[in-house]
């Protein structure tokens, strides 16, 4: 193919913009916030399970406390009645009195046991509440961080969109004056490389893939007409000759 050398050089502007657009797309697909957000989200899900566990533990302890407290109240009321009867002197029968005193002794033991259980339940409520509160605070911290990351990601996305729009307009302008046939070849090559379809032949290397051209190739290019379109044998890009080509 033949193309005006000036048009070939302008193709380098299009190529530079296409490379920038590829970098921009790569940046959009690999925003650092996404990686951290993924980790935090997993942590948040794990915490939710532990928060439920702590809440259940506290609820169970509270139910145990309420049950023991009711039993204790009943036992104390009964003990009060027992002591009232024992102290009143109304029980003349010795055996009945012995039996009442025995029950008072027995009930003292039960009240003492219930008080121990109630204290344990209170301790358990306190422990579970402490764990629950700590987990809630940790989740709140994670959610704060997530909100900050989401805001930062939104800013990055907006910036990328804006930058992408600007590059696309510049690209349109850079392509406008170029011959359709040259652009068609460029686009076909760009589709294959996934970025640009042309590169500068600079210091004997292809500016696209970095391959160094051998003497024979350099000689062929140097000897060809200035409007001949050269190609890189390695990546297929259009090799644009400039003063820096080393020919």
Contacts with Zn ion by CB under 5 A lie at 206, 208-209, 232, 234-235, 237
Identify the residue whose tokens are 């409520």: 125
Q: β-strand 238-241 against 230-231: which pairing, if any? A: antiparallel
For residues 103 and 81, is the Cβ–Cβ distance under 8 A? no
State the nearest-atom distance from the C-beta of 215 to Zn ion, in Å. Answer: 17
SS3 202: strand
State the nearest-atom distance from the C-beta of 39 to Zn ion, in Å. Answer: 39
4-18: b (≥16 Cβ within 10 Å) or e? ebebbebbbbbbbbb
State the nearest-atom distance from the C-beta of 204 to Zn ion, in Å. Answer: 12
Nearest to 175 by CA among 5, 1, 17, 3: 17
Smaller CB separation from Zn ion, 149 or 196: 196
Smaller CB separation from Zn ion, 214 or 234: 234
**Rounded (to 5) percent helix, strand, coil in the chain:** 75, 5, 20
State the nearest-atom distance from the C-beta of 9 to Zn ion, in Å. Answer: 17
């Amino acid at each position: 193919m033949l193309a005006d050398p000036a048009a070939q050089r302008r193709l380098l502007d299009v190529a530079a913009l296409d490379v920038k657009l590829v970098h921009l797309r790569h940046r959009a697909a690999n925003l650092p916030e996404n990686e951290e957000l993924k980790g935090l989200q997993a942590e948040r899900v794990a915490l939710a399970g532990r928060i439920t566990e702590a809440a259940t533990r506290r609820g169970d302890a509270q139910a145990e406390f309420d049950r023991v407290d009711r039993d204790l109240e009943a036992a104390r009321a009964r003990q009060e009645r027992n002591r009232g009867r024992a102290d009143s002197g109304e029980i003349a029968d010795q055996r009945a009195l012995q039996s009442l005193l025995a029950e008072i002794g027995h009930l003292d033991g039960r009240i003492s046991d219930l008080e121990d259980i109630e204290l344990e339940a209170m301790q358990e409520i306190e422990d579970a509440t402490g764990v629950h509160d700590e987990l809630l605070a940790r989740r709140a911290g994670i959610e704060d961080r997530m909100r900050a990351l989401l805001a930062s990601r939104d800013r990055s996305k907006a910036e990328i969109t804006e930058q992408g729009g600007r590059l696309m307009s510049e690209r349109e302008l850079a392509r406008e004056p170029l011959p359709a046939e040259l652009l068609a070849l460029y686009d076909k090559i760009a589709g294959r490389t996934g970025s640009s379809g042309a590169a500068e032949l600079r210091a004997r290397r292809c500016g696209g893939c970095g391959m160094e051209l051998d003497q024979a190739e350099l000689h062929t290019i140097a000897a060809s007409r200035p409007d001949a379109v050269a190609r890189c044998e390695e990546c297929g890009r259009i090799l644009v000759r400039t003063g820096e080509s080393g020919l």
